[in-house]
Amino acid sequence: MSDATAASPRVLVTGGAGYIGSHVLHALTDAGLPAVTIDNLSTGRRAAVPDTVPLVEGDIGSADLLERVIREHGVDAVMHFAGSIVVPESVEKPLAYYRNNTANSLTLLDTCRRLGIGNLVFSSTAAVYGAPTRVPIDEDTPPAPINPYGASKLMTEQMLRDAGAAHGLRSVILRYFNVAGADPAGRTGQATPTATHLIKVACQALLGRRPALSIFGTDYDTPDGTCIRDYIHVSDLADAHVLALLHLRRGGESLTLNCGYGHGASVHEVVRTLEEVSGEPVPATLAPRRPGDPPQLVAAADRIRERLGWVPKRDRLDVIVRDALAWERSLAP
């Protein structure tokens, strides 16, 4: 018997074995919403997927695979996380990023169109804004990406808008700011040892799993000279995805929404908070600026609360770093 006979439709989660996708699979499971995931395990891990969710190992560039999974599992909606995410790598290998993030998204959207799937939640990024001169950044700020990663995501946004107008494919485009932390229950977290995200790297340095954290740039035009970012707890972000799915299933209109808290923290503040939470020093060295880092990225974050009724539960930097550190400790060194 195929899953298509089950009472409740399933959501297809692409990239569900990855950092954010796995948190969303747990949130869906907690909410009693059935899911299936396709992941090629290029950066994801099988163990991150909840036991109750079927994992189909394969590549979303295959229209045949997408069609088979959508038909066999009775899928009515898609959450699209699969992609390549490392900004400097996107500068070195732009065509690989346009293939995995843009061309494969085109295959996915076209498969949705052919099979009449009308609901899609898309993982976009604050990188579509580039280096905006004003913060907070609202959703009407003209996008101006400054690297191929951001451009590859913006192209998918454009395809979604055009496909929405022409084919009735409704979407919620979620532009994530700086995603951090881990599942408070310890079921999943950021597990890529070579990840470049500040909070992950700082936790690794604190635990002696990296020699030291490099603080990239202390001469920015910010109060303490280091860059400011809007860090959002991954579990709050996962809740926003569940709300976006329910919005679309209710027949709600297409939306583009920032995902952040609307306030930022500097690199120094992140390091200090981690030291306070752990009671231990973070080995850190002052380093030159990392090319392409905007001084401040802070979301205007009202629209997602108004449109989806999202109420974040973990809007505290100490909670974010506490959960990130607990997860990091749980990983084998």
Ligand X SMILES: NC(=O)c1ccc[n+]([C@@H]2O[C@H](COP(=O)([O-])OP(=O)(O)OC[C@H]3O[C@@H](n4cnc5c(N)ncnc54)[C@H](O)[C@@H]3O)[C@@H](O)[C@H]2O)c1
Cβ burial, residue 134 (10 Å; 0-12/13-18/19+): exposed
* Beta carbons of 50 and 72 less than 8 angstroms apart: no
Cα dihedral 190, 104, 125, 115, rounded to 10, equals -100
Q: Which is nearer to ligand X, 43 or 119 (CB)?
A: 43
β-strand pairing of 265-266 with 228-229: antiparallel
> Does 18 participate in binding ligand X (rule CB under 6 A)?
yes
Distance CA 82, CA 165 (A): 24
DSSP-derived 3-state class of residue 187: coil
List 293, 305, 326, 331, residue binding ligand UPG (CB under 6 A): 293
Whether 261 sits among the annotated catalytic residues: the reply is no
Write the CA distances from 184 to 23, 151, 181, integer angstroms: 10, 33, 8
Sign, CA dihedral 230-233-237-239, equals negative
Q: Which is nearer to ligand X, 121 or 308 (CB)?
A: 121
> Where does 98-197 have alpha helices with state H?
104-115, 148-167
Token look-up 């959207």 returns 109
Distance CA 161, CA 155 (A): 10
> Does 104 participate in binding ligand X (rule CB under 6 A)?
yes
To ligand UPG, the closest distance from the beta carbon of 186 in angstroms equals: 22
Candidates 98, 149, 220, 231; catalytic one: 149
List 9, 50, 54, 61, residue binding ligand X (CB under 6 A): 61
Could you give the string, one character per residue 141-160, with x where binding to ligand UPG holds by CB under 6 A and - elsewhere? --------------------
Which of ligand UPG, ligand X, none does residue 264 bind to, with CB < 5 to 8 Å depending on kind? none
Q: Give bridge partners of residue 286 from the DSSP assignment.
A: 215
Which of ligand UPG, ligand X, none does residue 35 bind to, with CB < 5 to 8 Å depending on kind? none
Which of ligand UPG, ligand X, none does residue 39 bind to, with CB < 5 to 8 Å depending on kind? ligand X
DSSP string, 25-64: HHHHHHTT--EEEEE--SS--GGGS-TTS-EEES-TT-HH
Q: Number of residues in contact with ligand UPG, rule: CB under 6 A? A: 20
Could you give the string, one character per residue 72-111, with x where binding to ligand UPG holds by CB under 6 A and - elsewhere? -------------x--------------------------
Q: Number of residues in contact with ligand X, rule: CB under 6 A? A: 27
To ligand UPG, the closest distance from the beta carbon of 205 in angstroms equals: 8
> Does 152 participate in binding ligand X (rule CB under 6 A)?
no
3-state helix, strand, coil in the chain (%, to 5): 40, 20, 40
Q: Which is nearer to ligand UPG, 201 or 255 (CB)?
A: 201
For residue 245, which phi and psi values (nearest 5 degrees)? -65, -45
> Does 197 participate in binding ligand UPG (rule CB under 6 A)?
yes
To ligand UPG, the closest distance from the beta carbon of 77 in angstroms equals: 24
> Does 39 participate in binding ligand X (rule CB under 6 A)?
yes
Nearest to 62 by CA among 46, 88, 38, 29: 38
> Does 98 participate in binding ligand X (rule CB under 6 A)?
no
Question: Where does this chain bind ligand UPG (CB under 6 A)?
Answer: 85, 125-127, 177-178, 196-198, 201, 213-216, 227, 229, 267, 290, 293, 297
Where on the chain is the footprint of ligand X (CB under 6 A)? 15, 17-21, 38-44, 59-61, 81-83, 85, 100, 104, 123, 125, 176, 178-179
Tell me the catalytic residues.
Answer: 149
